[in-house]
Amino acid sequence: MQSLALDTYKIHIGPIAESLAQTLNQQPFSQLFVLVDEHTKKHCWPRIAPVVQQHAPKIIEIASGETHKNLRTCEHIWQQLMAHRAGRDALMLNLGGGVIGDMGGFAASTFKRGMHFIQTPTTLLSQVDASIGGKLGIDFLQVKNSIGLFRNPQAVLVDPEFLDTLPDRELRSGYAEVIKHSLIANARQWKTLLNLTDLRSADWSSIIPASLKIKKEIVEADPFEKGLRKALNFGHTIGHAVEGHALETEAPLLHGEAIAIGMIGETYLSYQQLGLSKEALHQIAAYLLQIYGKPLLEPPHYPAYLHLMGNDKKNEGGKINFSLLSEAGAVSVNQTADASQITAALDFYNAL
């Protein structure tokens, strides 16, 4: 069992039975609620049921997927809490990926002005990114995470064995955040990842802690995203816009798939604006294409992408905000680009 200590909570990495039992024994609560979707109820709940059964847990089930990360689903969660007469001293265990963690934490934090919650991430994406740092929220009007707040969990429990339950596509999606962490803060890890092409053979027990360490250090330095923490948005300005638009089509993209597109586009902006070398540009783009393929971005959709980028919560002064690379392992925040520069980045991606 490994642990990373943040200011007010710990991230435990290891077998879920051990970390969950220990955490519940240290946490007083009146009732235990477990938030699941249809997938985690089937594949993940049986792994923790024996540990929590003594607490008479009440399961709240929601539909899986980013399209359900909205106020309507929150209303369902709040209704279930009300029906069971939950108090502020109840505890919510969020068992699932980034959608469950973001929305479960948001619902818990706003119910009766705040009940405690534990994040139990079951996807690679949530294990290395979404469950860490206290950012909670839901999507609104196609804009990801535009309604939310900062509030830390009581603990985060990461078990790499949950990754065995994931389809290959979900595993690849989460891996995009591992790539992002290395590109913004650890050039040595980036060079190591370049040799990884078969994700099923990856040593997640070493990759996950290394990735978490990067995010931990950034979050501790800037808990409310005033400066350095914006580095974590590399690939996300373009990526979130592409993801939000695709959600309204018959071919939605998973988060990591869209962020991979965003990282290629924003690497091009890095080449144009911060002097990132052409060699690094093509190396990064080639590796991302090798892992994720290349869904095309239709030029008629460019105005929609730009509109969504204009609504990004990171923007300041009416300008679209980016975090860009000067080299692999080094990032600069609060960079801006205009519509013509962003369009050129989208064209670069399509031309690969």
Domains of the chain: 2-165 (3.40.50.1970), 168-351 (1.20.1090.10)
- The reported pLDDT for the residue numbered 311 is 86
Express each pLDDT in 27-70 by its tens digit: 899 999 999 999 999 999 999 999 999 999 999 999 998 899 99
Mean pLDDT for all residues in the chain: 94
- The reported pLDDT for the residue numbered 130 is 64
- The reported pLDDT for the residue numbered 131 is 67
**Which tokens sit at 38?**
């249809």
Instruction: Check if the beta carbon of residue 124 is closer than 8 Å to that of residue 171.
Output: yes
Instruction: Give the percent of the chain with pLDDT over 90.
Output: 84
Express each pLDDT in 124-164 by its tens digit: 999 998 667 888 999 998 788 889 999 999 999 999 999 99
- The reported pLDDT for the residue numbered 102 is 94
- The reported pLDDT for the residue numbered 134 is 86
Express each pLDDT in 236-285 by its tens digit: 999 999 999 998 899 999 999 999 999 999 999 999 999 999 999 999 99
Average pLDDT over residues 297-324: 90
Residue scoring higher pLDDT (7 or 126): 126
**Which tokens sit at 61?**
């089930």
- The reported pLDDT for the residue numbered 314 is 76
Average pLDDT over residues 163-188: 96
- C-alpha 260/C-alpha 236 separation (Å) is 9
> Where in the sequence numbering do the catalytic residues fall?
113, 135, 177, 215, 225, 229, 233, 236, 240, 255
Express each pLDDT in 314-326 by its tens digit: 787 778 999 999 9
**Which tokens sit at 84?**
């069971």
